[in-house]
Amino acid sequence: MIAAARAAHFFLPEFKIASIAPFGSGNVNDTFIITLSSGEKKILQRLNPEVFPDPLLVMRNMRIVLDHLHRERNNNHTLPDRFSFVTMYQGKTGGHYQDNDGSVWRLMSMIDNCRTCRYVTNKEQAEELGRGLGIFHRLLSTLDAEKLEDTLPGFHDTQRYLVRYDTIGYDQDRSGNHQSAYCASFIEQRRTMVHCLEHEKEKLYSGVIHGDPKVANFLFDQNEDRIISLIDLDTVKPGLLLHDLGDALRSSCNPAGEKAEKQDQVHFDYVFFQSWLQGYLTEAGFLLSENDRALIVDAVLLISFELGLRFFTDHLEGNQYFKVNEPDQNVHRAMVQFKLVESIEEQTDRLKAIVNTL
pLDDT digits (tens, 9 = 90+) for 146-174: 999 988 888 899 999 999 999 987 665 55
The dihedral region occupied by 94, where left means phi > 0, alpha psi between -120 and 50, and beta the remainder, is left
Rounded distance, CA 197 to CA 292, Å? 10
Long-range contact pairs involving 183-191 (C-beta distance under 8 Å, separation at least 24):
183/308, 183/312, 183/331, 183/334, 183/335, 183/338, 184/312, 186/308, 186/338, 186/341, 187/162, 187/308, 187/309, 187/312, 190/305, 190/341, 191/162
123-357: same fold as 2-110?
Answer: no
pLDDT of residue 273: 98
pLDDT at 141 over 80: yes
Dihedral, CA atoms, 56, 73, 132, 104, nearest 10 degrees?
20
pLDDT of residue 25: 64
Rounded distance, CA 198 to CA 154, Å? 12
The 3-state DSSP class for residue 232 equals coil
Rounded distance, CA 193 to CA 107, Å? 40
Flag the least confident range among 91-95, 272-276, 282-286: 91-95
pLDDT, one tens digit per residue, over 98-124 is 888 778 899 999 999 999 998 999 999
**If you ran DSSP here, which 8-state letter would residue 118 be given?**
S
Instruction: List CB contacts of 110: < 8 A, sequence separation 6 or more.
Output: 33, 41, 42, 43, 86
pLDDT at 22 over 80: yes
pLDDT of residue 353: 98
pLDDT of residue 28: 65
Rounded distance, CA 129 to CA 124, Å? 9
pLDDT of residue 171: 66
List the beta bridge partners of residue 41. Answer: 35
Percent of the chain topping pLDDT 70: 97
Averaged pLDDT score across all residues of the chain:
91
- More confident of the two residues 66 and 92: 66
pLDDT at 134 over 60: yes
Range with the largest mean pLDDT of 77-81, 181-185, 191-195, 250-254 = 250-254
**If you ran DSSP here, which 8-state letter would residue 223 be given?**
T
Residue 102, burial from CB neighbour count under 10 angstroms (0-12, 13-18, 19+): exposed
pLDDT, one tens digit per residue, over 27-79 is 567 899 999 999 999 999 998 777 777 888 999 999 999 999 999 988 877 78
Residue 26: band (very low, low, confident or very high) from pLDDT cuts 50, 70, 90? low
Domain boundaries, the chain: 2-110, 123-357
Residue 88: band (very low, low, confident or very high) from pLDDT cuts 50, 70, 90? very high
pLDDT of residue 102: 78
**Whether pTM exceeds 0.75:** yes
Q: Look up the CATH architecture of domain 2-110.
A: 2-Layer Sandwich (3.30)
Q: Which helix (H) or strand (E) holds 104?
A: strand 104-109
pLDDT, one tens digit per residue, over 217-236 is 999 999 999 999 999 999 99
Question: Can you tell me the mean pLDDT for 289-294?
Answer: 97
pLDDT, one tens digit per residue, over 305-338 is 999 999 999 999 988 888 888 888 999 999 999 9
Which amino acid appears at position 263 of this protein?
Q
Question: C-alpha distances in angstroms, 150 versus 159, 227, 281?
Answer: 18, 28, 27
Nearest to residue 156, comparing CAs of 122, 204, 109? 204
Q: Look up the CATH architecture of domain 123-357.
A: Alpha-Beta Complex (3.90)
pLDDT of residue 24: 72
